[in-house]
Structures are given as structure tokens and as C-alpha cells.
Amino acid sequence: MLRLLHGAKRSRLISARRLSRFRGFVDVVRLNVVAGKGGDGASSFYTDKKIHRGPADGERGGDGGSVYIEAHTNAHSDLSLSGKRIFKAEHGGHGGGKDMIGARGKDLTIQVPSGTLVYEQGHTENRIIADLVHGDRFMACRGGRGGRGNRAFQTSTNRNVNEAEAGSEGETRSLVLELKSVADVGLVGFPNAGKSTLLASMSSAKPRVASFPFTTLHPVVGVISRAQKEESEDEFDRVTIADLPGILEDAHRGRGLGLNFLRHIERTDVLVYVLDMTVKSPVEELTTLFKELDEYMNGLRQSRLALIVANKLDAADEGQLKLLDLIEWLAKEKIEVDVCPCSARLGRGVDEIKSLLFELLQRSGRSRRKLSGLKMLPFRKPKAPIGENGSAGRENKADNDSMLTVEWEEEPA
């Protein structure tokens, strides 16, 4: 918890979860959706100046509006939803006499970024009910049906029925939305490895670039296109790349920014490991990245094609020797992966990286993975036990929003 002072007399506590709002990016949000109630049926009889009480002419009420969640293709948006957390559709209108049917309530559509998972909150766990990508539309709550009027109950022998139905209530749900960005390539690496500089040099994205660590606090997505549309079996001519915050050793225990942001590379086909060649041992950084990815999700690293970018070679002492040591270690561990020397700051090697990315994506088949059989642990977990130093242990912090086993399902081509 952080304490923000407002004047001399009062203070306010802000949790780490609420702090994500101040960073300007929201990728997990809870909300309540309420469908509209159906209108009541009318009890009415036909009358005119010569007929005091004619046959029943009360009609049914209108159906209540439903709530839909629709994925749109704006890759730079998040789940802030303008701060709104309760969404209600319009109620149906009541039926009337003279055979007038009640107006149908308007449907409500909640637009979310492509790559959003929808969970229904339960008592013990949250159950996935939709995976929305590329324009998918899902009915979250169905509106209530309008009640029947007395006209529906009259018979040939009973024309004087006075019975009418009330409209049924619309569905209500408590949902959790989780954004997992739809990107083809994910950039992973230590803080200050040059991921943001590399993304800025390859695309028109404008990530924050500075000389201090953790300048990237949330994923930044950029798009690169072929310089010339060459003849290729790959039907796509552009690549989306997600730049992720830096990973530290023991990030799975809550160190640094943790690993929760790695949800944004679960849909990627290619992982790019950006290594800082100015450090003492780039090999140790690479092994740490492998370990942290395995701690986050077993099998995630092995199921992706990979590329290693040896960055900052222009500023590295004995950079060529470190590069040779890296290649020898990969050969010793029998890891088949391309290593691309680069200086993102000077733009050297960037074109070669682009070409390799298009080749790797062509080999991967651009699967556009959807998630299936996915379950999320409860969000509201018991607080961590207080340690001897009077503060909650950080080793459980990274598990607050952790995911269980994921099964992948590839869309048909």
C-alpha cells in the first residue's frame, strides 16, 4: 500500500491494483452487466361510442434490450471503458390497448479490444465464457421477454378475459474482462535492453525511451510492413509487435513488475529475446529469461518460434567475444535459434530483423491462436501472511492474477 498525503489532516490509501489506472493502461477489469426487463402486457378491451366493452385488445410488452460485448481492432486501446463498471440495457415498453405492442428495449454493445477474454465470476473460480478476437460479438446477457396481454388469453367462448402477464426480468452477470493483446511477435528482455528503441526503429510506434529501467510500464504495440510486396505464400504483408515491460530475475516472486503482463504474449507466434551486449554476461540474462517464462507458463517458450537480438553491439566492450560465447552456448545446449547482431539506436541490423520476422511468421502459419479450456484463479484471494518484518511476503504477489493450464486451439485456415 502507498500513502498519499492530501494536506496536513487527511490521507488516503491506494492499493497496487488501483495504481494501474494511474499508469494509463488497464488490462483486467471487473464489471456488472444487466439486461433490460421485459415490458408488462396490457389488459384492455375494445370500446367505441356504440360498444361499451368489446373483445380484449391488450397486447404484449416489448422485450428488454440485451447486452453484447464486441471486439474491435484498435490495437492501442485497453479495458479502461471510460471508468464505467455497471452497464444496463434499456427496458422494454409496456403493452397498450388497441393492439399496440410495447417498444423493444435498445441493445447495449460494449466495445473491447481484440484479444479480450470474458470470464463469469463464480464463488470458487472464474469460468471463461468467451474469447473475442477480430470482430467477434458475444451476448453477455439476454433481455427479458415481454409479458402477454389479455388478447392472448381470450378464447372463442371467453371473450371477456381480464388476465395479463408481467414482463420477465433480464439476466444479470458479474464478469471479468482480461486483455491478452493480439500480436504476432512479442519482445522480451531485461530492463534497458533496448526493446522500446528496437520497436521505434522498426515501426511508427512511439514507446517511451529513456536511460533508466522500467520506462515501459504497459505493452506497446507497433506494426511493420514489407518495404516491397514480394511474391510469397504468406497472405499477410504486415506484422504486429508487442513491446513488454522488462523482466528481472525472480520476477515470478513479485520482483520488479512481476510477470502478469506476460499474458500479452500468450497469443504470439514468435518471441524475440532482446539482449543487452554491454552487460557482463548476456548468456546469464538469456537463461534467466528462459527460467522466468517457464515459471509463468510451462510450455509457452517451447511452443514458439524464437529470435535472439544481440543489441547495443556498438557500445559493448568485447562485444564480438560475447556474441561468440552466446552462439557457442546455444550450440552446446542444442538450441536452434537465429542470432541477429543489432544496434537499434543506430538502426544497424534492423532490416535484417524485419526479414527474419516475416520468414518466421511464414513458417509458423500465423495461427492466430484462441484460448480454450482456460480457467482463472479467484481474484479476491486471502491476504499473504505477515512476515517477521511486519510486511506481507512478496513471494505470493505474482500469483494474485496467475493463470492455470492453457490449451491452445488453432483456427482453421
Answer whether 194's CB lies under 8 Å from 344's CB: yes
The more confidently predicted of residues 169 and 50 is 169
Segment 196-219, tens digit of pLDDT: 888 888 887 777 776 656 666 767
For residue 224, pLDDT beyond 70: yes
Q: Mean pLDDT over residues 360-376, rounded?
A: 58
Mean pLDDT of the chain, nearest integer: 76
Please, how many CA atoms are within 13 Å of residue 373, restricted to the half-sphere of its CB? 5
The more confidently predicted of residues 91 and 360 is 91
| Percent of the chain surpassing pLDDT 70 | 73
For every residue of 45-81, DSSP letters joined together read B---SS-SS-SB---PPPPPPPEEEEEE--TT--S-G
DSSP state of 252: G
Q: Report phi then psi at 189, rounded to 5.
A: 170, 175
For residue 255, pLDDT beyond 90: no
All residues at 6 or more sequence positions from 75 whose CB lies less than 8 Å from its CB, including other chains: 113, 114, 181, 182, 183, 221, 223, 240
Q: What is d(CA 205, CA 155) in angstroms, rounded to the nearest whole number?
A: 70
DSSP state of 397: G
Q: Which residue has the cell 512478496?
A: 394
Strands 305-311 and 338-341, by their bridges, are parallel
All residues at 6 or more sequence positions from 48 whose CB lies less than 8 Å from its CB, including other chains: 54
- In order of 41, 196, 395, the CA distances from 216 in angstroms are 57, 8, 23
For residue 135, pLDDT beyond 70: yes
pLDDT score of 202? 87
Answer whether 93's CB lies under 8 Å from 39's CB: yes
Q: What is d(CA 220, CA 209) in angstroms, rounded to the nearest whole number?
A: 12
pLDDT score of 212? 59
